[in-house]
Chains A and B, each alone.
Chain A
């Protein structure tokens, strides 16, 4: 089962521009995580935001969380061609160890 949806499904931007992708989820969460996946590879963890946090930064990444709207956004500033990848949000469901992924956003950064 899928926890939520991400939008846009695909995003194409020019190098140097900012990229914003959004994630919505359905159930109460302890935290929300963002992962990156290069084509044909495994996923790599980017950032985790706890349910009591509203914003978090890591390098060129900024994540926001709005638990009242059950939504999160990932902003990549000053994008690079190497940022081209798929980005997924993931949430841990209730008190279980299930980690459920959103539908993902495919980001293309044009040089």
Chain B
């Protein structure tokens, strides 16, 4: 059974048109992450949450925002997508409070900007 679910798997959006990607989890994990991954590159951390405590990476563009209304759901909003924002976006969760725990990833949303 899928534990971290990302919807949709594929998203096409127009240049400059706001888009929202969603992630849900059934694991009740405190920590949630959003990563951006471009072709043949490593996942790049955009944000992470510990519960509602939001942590933004210094080099995450202002164009990217996130919301976590409750433990189960997390959203990535791209306010004005540019061609350079085309990528795979990965959501992950992790148990908080322990040092040595693994992250669980969703299948990702591949974003195309036209």
Instruction: List residues of chain A with CB under 8 Å of any chain B CB.
Output: 1-2, 30-31, 33, 35, 40-45, 48, 50, 88, 90, 92, 96-104, 106
CB neighbours (8 Å) of B103 from chain A are: 33, 35, 43, 45, 90, 99
Q: Which B residues are CB-close (under 8 A) to A104?
A: 41-42
Q: Are A43 and B102 in touch, CB under 8 angstroms? A: no
Give how many A-B residue pairs fall within 8 Å (CB-CB): 71
Contact B100 A50 (CB under 8 A): yes
- Chain B residue numbers with a CB within 8 Å of A35 are 103, 105
**Complex partner residue of B94 from A1, A99, A103, CB under 8 angstroms:** A99
Kindly report which residue of chain B lies nearest to residue A86, judged by CB atoms.
Answer: B40
Question: Chain B nearest CB: distance from A67 CB in Å?
Answer: 15
How far apart are the CA atoms of A48 and B57 in the complex, in Å? 24
Indicate whether A41 sits within 8 Å of B100 (C-beta atoms), given known contacts A2-B42, A98-B48, A103-B42. Answer: no
Q: How large is the interface on B (under 10, 10 to 19, 20 to 34, 35 or more residues)?
A: 20 to 34
Tell me if B43 and A43 are in contact (CB < 8 A). yes
Measured CA separation A101–B110 after assembly (Å): 19
A31 vs B96: C-alpha distance when bound (angstroms): 15
B100 touches A43 (CB 8 A): no
